[in-house]
Amino acid sequence: MQMTGRSTEAKVHDQFVNRWSPRAFDGSSIDAADRDALFEAARWAPSAFNAQPWRLLYAERGDANWDRFLKLLVPFNQSWAETSGLLVFFLSATTSHGKPSHSHSFDTGAAWMSLALQAEHLGLRAHGMTGIDFDAIKTELGVPDDYRIEAAAAIGRQGDPEVLPEQLREREAPSDRLPLSQIAIAGNFPA
């Protein structure tokens, strides 16, 4: 049952169409069982050679790390992510079995999608973002040189758009996607 008003060109499971990335959260905390279920879903993502290159650094609303993590987002993202219940930074190991890894970002993206879909199953929403201070994250969170900071996510229960800064309220709706013909191309890349 599609609930977002989006339409598809092929039949897919509703979980893919109903998942979207709101910015309005209700300010509540996420309980430990739900938090762990999110991370467990990410844990089971596929990866090349089963290297599992992803690492998830997180802060929960109200914990000792919350303000520190929030300040690592660009100010625009701080303005809405402050009402989420969980902030997560996704990192990936750039080497695997002593060699450079070509697929670390790809694999970590699979972990992100697993987490995002699990959030939907729990009645939560997850909003991924790259509007973060990559250099400050590396320093502040002690990220080793052989890890790449990929992205962040704000996760929580969807809230009323009225909690958002005024300029964001009208944008608080599921976005559409490019036509299938523009993303799946038989043969060579188009000229």
Cα within 13 Å of Cα(16), Cβ side: 8
Give the pLDDT confidence score for residue 4 in this predicted structure: 64
H/E stretch holding 71: none
**H or E element, residue 90:** strand 86-93
Q: Does residue 98 register a pLDDT over 80? A: yes
Distance, in Å, from the CA atom of 135 to the CA atom of 124, rounded to the nearest integer, reads 29
Q: If one looks up domain 24-160 in CATH, what number appears?
A: 3.40.109.10
- Specify the range with the lowest mean pLDDT, choosing from 39-43, 142-146, 177-181: 177-181
Residue 135, Cβ neighbours under 10 Å: how many? 10
pTM of the entire predicted model: 0.92
Domain boundaries, given as residue ranges, for the chain: 24-160
Confidence of residue 31 (pLDDT cuts 50, 70, 90): very high
> What's the pLDDT at 2?
47
